[in-house]
Amino acid sequence: MRDLHHKKMPPQRNRNRQKRERKPRKPIQFRRFLRKGARVCVGFFLVSALWVVGVEVYELITTATPFRLERIEISRTKRLSRDEVIALAGVKVGDPLLRLDLRHMAEHLEKNPWIETLKIRRRLPAALSIEITEREPVAVVNMGYLYYLAAKAEIFKPLTDGDRLDYPVVTGIAAEDLTRDPAGSKEMLQSALGVMELLRKGTVFRLDDISEIHLDKGYGITLFTARGGIPVKLGNDDFVGKLDRFSKVYRELTSQIASLEYIDLNYSDKIVVKKVG
């Protein structure tokens, strides 16, 4: 006999259930919509009108005769002439003062290697002030080409025709060193500047008595005398003590300068003088 499986019949929906009554939609209020749209349009129109008026007022003010550039004030400079500064700034008398782009002007001026610091100001109603601090060379660095060295150990400008050469010459630094080890190269240059300052203050062995300062990471600083080009080895430290000891015997050695091969000061308590032959 077959087993009869009674399937559970799904409950029938109550067809007699009352239908939900839909709420009537509110009528679209076109007048309110139009009023809002009109207010937006009027606001946009007013903003646009104010912007146009503002531009016109700005144009009127910035081009007005009382704000035309009448005077260009430039601080005193040694290397750059007034005409060079004005040409670099790209400004001229008669320009609208308020429309000058001071930042753009400064970018052009700072490209000149002589300019170390710069300050540009408008002086209403009709003047422009340009204050410049120039770099001052203290030595010449020989890197295949000659470059000026500033007091902050900055190599800042290649020498060109007309540039002065009567500065101490620094050797031993290559362009590759500046790229590969900028911090180490700057430290060596600062050491050279420190020795130059000691020599500048010296009363016996002075800066005028040397022709070259050679830098070497391993051996330190070597000075070459102006007379005879004799190497004077200083090493890497205690420059004050070494130069002080050397100044006490320097006058005696000047009479023998032609017979000397080198002078080694790189000791804490003595001076080694090597003679030729």
pLDDT of residue 277: 72
Write out the H or E segment, with its range, that includes residue 31.
Answer: helix 30-62
| CATH no. of 137-275 | 3.40.50.11690
Q: Where are the beta strands (DSSP E) in 83-219?
A: 115-123, 127-134, 137-142, 146-150, 155-158, 169-171, 210-216
User: How many Å apart are CA 48 and CA 27, to the nearest integer?
Assistant: 35
Residue 35's pLDDT is: 63
Neighbours of 214 (CB within 10 A): 20
CA neighbor of 213 nearest in space, from 253, 153, 135: 153
Q: pLDDT per residue over 250-272, tens digit each?
A: 988 988 888 999 999 998 888 99
Assign domain 66-134 to a CATH class.
Answer: alpha beta
CA–CA separation, 158 vs 124, rounded Å? Answer: 39
**CA–CA separation, 147 and 140 (whole Å):** 6
The Cα–Cα gap between 211 and 133 comes to 29
- Note the pLDDT of residue 13: 53
Q: Which residues of the chain have pLDDT under 50?
A: 1-2, 4-6, 52-53, 55, 58, 62
Per-residue pLDDT at 39? 65
Q: Which of 123, 117, 77 is nearest to 100 (CA)?
A: 123
**183 within 8 A of 226, measured Cβ to Cβ:** no
**Exposure class string for 35-49: b at 16+ Cβ within 10 A, else e:** eeeeeeeeeeeeeee
What integer pLDDT is reported at residue 1 of this predicted model?
Answer: 42
CB 263 within 8 A of CB 272: yes
Q: Show me where the domains of the chain are located.
A: 66-134, 137-275
pTM above 0.75, yes or no: no
pLDDT number for residue 4: 46
Burial class of 197 by CB neighbour count within 10 A (0 to 12, 13 to 18, 19+): middle
CB 80 within 8 A of CB 132: yes
Q: C-alpha angle with apex 241: 246 to 169, nearest 5 degrees?
A: 65
pLDDT at 31: 61
> For residue 254, what pLDDT is reported?
87
